[in-house]
Structure 1
Amino acid sequence: MTSPSPHPLTSSSLSSTVLVIGYGNLLRGDDGIGQTVAMRVEEWELPAVRSRSVHQLMPELAQELSEVQLAIFVDAALWGDEVSVSTLEPAPEQGLPWGHSLSPSRLLALCQWLYQAVPQTWMISVPGVDFSDSDRLSPLAQERVAIALNHITHLIQNHHNC
């Protein structure tokens, strides 16, 4: 087994804490894109970067979000041809109770409500093509995972340079 390839971001080039949260179902083909990206980020072993690979977004993630300066959510998209990157804001007040599974914007709202802190947040949506029962990503999804990882590298570098 080969060791993970070195990453262009070194620990000395990072001063802020980053949290990458990839979510989706690893047993539904390309729905596992988000978790796959998060696992690859974890392989970088950057001390200022935390990575979470989860099946769904849970309220328990709010505390960890409140402790970072930059958060990046990654999920599979059901349509589209391009990996998209967009900013995220907390969802407007929609009342409580909070469910067990949240959207990224609702999770940010919970973070803001509980901890009065919200990191700069980005959403990376990676289009998939095969969501059938499978524990493997399609070849096209694998290509798009690499694109998402490049976006994450740029977001981290740009955040550091601010």
Structure 2
Amino acid sequence: MNATVMVIGYGNDLRSDDGIGQRIADEIASWHLSAVKSLAVHQLTPELADALANAELAIFVDAYVPLESFDVQVQSLSPSVDNAIAGHTADPQSLLALTRTLYGHCPPALWVTVPAVNFEFGDRFSEITETGKAIALGKIMQILDKFKKFLDQMNPI
């Protein structure tokens, strides 16, 4: 893989399931993929715009409270024109918008969300989130593989 993929897992790792984004980012970092940079952060901050500006693809990973389905979800993200960064924290769409404003572009982005049901103080994941972690890692592996194949087609040797 020649291009850089930026994986940003975020959430509060002291609030049980809410820390799943950070845990997934840490696991991806342990794969030591040369073209994948993985960051585990407590929250999305404006400083991350610099890292995003140099990425060819961004993957955000976070927990979500399921209302109907307990599936790991993957959705495309676009920079938001409505969501301004409030204070020192952001959501993925506003961070992409800030990146575009500051650097004139932002990478295509995906949001991988893992179902979470336990937000009590602690560092253990619920069964639902633990299962979601394995599924999310599998989906991210597939995304990285498809991205590599896409790049190979764009830049044949």
Asked whether the two chains share a fold, i.e. TM above 0.5, the reply is: yes
CA distance in structure 1 between the aligned counterparts of 2:140 and 2:46, rounded to whole angstroms = 24
**2:81 pairs with one of 84, 92, 95:** 92
Aligned to 2:116: 128
Matching of residue 107 in structure 1 with residue 88 in structure 2: no
Structure 2: gaps of 5 or more residues: 151-157
- For residue 88 of structure 2, give the secondary structure of its aligned residue in structure 1: coil
Please report the RMSD computed on the Cα atoms of aligned residues, expressed in angstroms.
Answer: 1.3
Higher mean C-alpha deviation, range 125-134 or range 68-77: 125-134
TM-score with structure 2 length normalisation?
0.90
CA distance in structure 2 between the aligned counterparts of 1:93 and 1:143, rounded to whole angstroms = 34
CA distance in structure 1 between the aligned counterparts of 2:38 and 2:24, rounded to whole angstroms = 9
CA distance in structure 2 between the aligned counterparts of 1:74 and 1:64, rounded to whole angstroms = 16
**1:81 pairs with one of 56, 70, 74:** 70
Deviation digits for residues 112-136 of structure 1, max 9, x if unmatched?
A: 0000121110000101121111111
Percent of aligned pairs with the same amino acid = 43
Aligned residue pairs, count: 148
Matching of residue 161 in structure 1 with residue 149 in structure 2: yes
Deviation digits for residues 60-103 of structure 1, max 9, x if unmatched?
A: 000100001010000000114100000000001566x7530001
Structure 1: gaps of 5 or more residues: 1-13
* Paired AA for residue 36 in structure 1: R
TM-score with structure 1 length normalisation?
0.87
Contact 2:83 2:93 in 1 (8 A): no
Aligned to 1:68: 55
Matching of residue 51 in structure 1 with residue 38 in structure 2: yes
Contact 1:88 1:122 in 2 (8 A): yes
